[in-house]
Structure 1
Amino acid sequence: MSGEVEVKYRVVDLDGLLAALERQDVMLSPPIRQEDQAYAPIGWADGQSRIGVTFARLRVQDGTCVFTTKTPVDNVLACLEYETVIADREQMHHALLALGYRATVQVAKTRRTARAAEYGLCVDQVDGVGAFLEVEAMTAATDDMAGVQAELAAWVSTLGAPVERVGATYDQLVAPARLPAAEMASVSTI
């Protein structure tokens, strides 16, 4: 078992962020394309707490499918995580449906990655919602994930980069962006 703890930021000025990372000698990888399908338990509905609920994802990258489960501990960006390569994406999709999951939202993005000290960094261009910076750490201890997030946020603040912190996952950000304006108005009043 491992814990994945991250902080996520909307990038206000991508060139400004890239310059800030360069000043820290952070070298980003070439871009890769990721296509994700998110899954939620059938009994869970948008708007309910995610804490303690296990969600799943099938990600295709460079022809490889990776199956991931995430169970939020402190918040949606501090999770217990399990991950493995899957030989047959379609069979795993049907297995998830048989296990009582439903497909929720698809997230497509172009990602560049890097390491900075013990942190993993991702600079993502997410289709439909823009550019984001994620900084993450893996931990075996899950009792102070919020404390680890504070450390990650402190590191990001040293960059002096033009970013705004968000406390949502990509599936939470993408789903509303795909709603028609009339439906979006009714969601915001609930």
Structure 2
Amino acid sequence: MASEVQEVEVKYRVRGPEAMRTLEVALERRGGRLSPPIRQDDQAYAQPGWEYGQSKIGVAFARLRTQDGRHLFTVKTPQANEQACLEHETEVADREQMHRAIVAMGFRPTVRIVKVRRIAVLGDLTICVDVVEHAGTFVELERTVPDGESGIAVQAGMDGWARSLGVELERTSDTYDSLVRAALLPA
């Protein structure tokens, strides 16, 4: 049986076009070139009984993503924090039927997250620059590690790498569903 893996990430808000230009130059200096933009349309789902404001640790969340005509079904279970998750993902043929199956399993749709993503890969590090509708522009660093590895230690290493770029970044521990939801709530 294959061992489980964690997707570990750190996320930063990019404030303005100047910070974005500085980020692109810093990535290129390190050998990272951002891909052409890709549109991702994600529907997030929560387990019955879970509500925003409650801890996400140990709770399974589902996502249905459409990108370039492909549909991906993902289940993430946060471990040490919301950005260090056990992850299972597979491609599905029919988004609408998968949506109905997820709902039939008791999950409920929460937030729709639409973003334009550009990606660079440097070794085992994936850098995603995301323009998220309603929430703004972010850079997300991701690594996949064995389940037993400390997600917090991996995040600390990635944070050090991000800060070494010399770009003004504002770290956030929120996931995109929480950021979009907060942006859409009435003031």
**TM-score scaled to structure 1, two decimals?**
0.92
Give aligned pairs, total. Answer: 181
Deviation, 1:95, is 0.7
Kindly indicate whether residue 179 of structure 2 is the aligned counterpart of residue 173 of structure 1. yes
CA deviation vs aligned residue, 1:84-138 (integer Å, no higher than 9, x gap): 0011111111111111100000000000001112201100111111110000110
Kindly indicate whether residue 103 of structure 2 is the aligned counterpart of residue 113 of structure 1. no
Deviation, 1:42, is 1.7
**Gaps spanning 5+ residues in structure 1: where?**
182-190
Matches within 5 A, 1:1-190: 1-12=4-15, 13-181=19-187
CA distance in structure 2 between the partners assigned to 1:90 and 1:142 by the alignment:
35
CA distance in structure 1 between the partners assigned to 2:108 and 2:172 by the alignment:
26
Indicate conservation of the 8 Å contact 2:86/2:147, yes or no. Answer: no
Cα RMSD of the aligned pairs, angstroms, is 0.9
CA distance in structure 2 between the partners assigned to 1:38 and 1:108 by the alignment:
11
Indicate conservation of the 8 Å contact 1:70/1:80, yes or no. Answer: yes
**TM-score scaled to structure 2, two decimals?**
0.94
Percent identity of the aligned residues?
A: 52
Deviation, 1:23, is 2.1
Q: Which amino acid in the other structure matches residue 173 of structure 1?
A: L
Deviation, 1:157, is 1.2
Q: Which amino acid in the other structure matches residue 119 of structure 1?
A: L
Q: Which amino acid in the other structure matches residue 137 of structure 1?
A: R
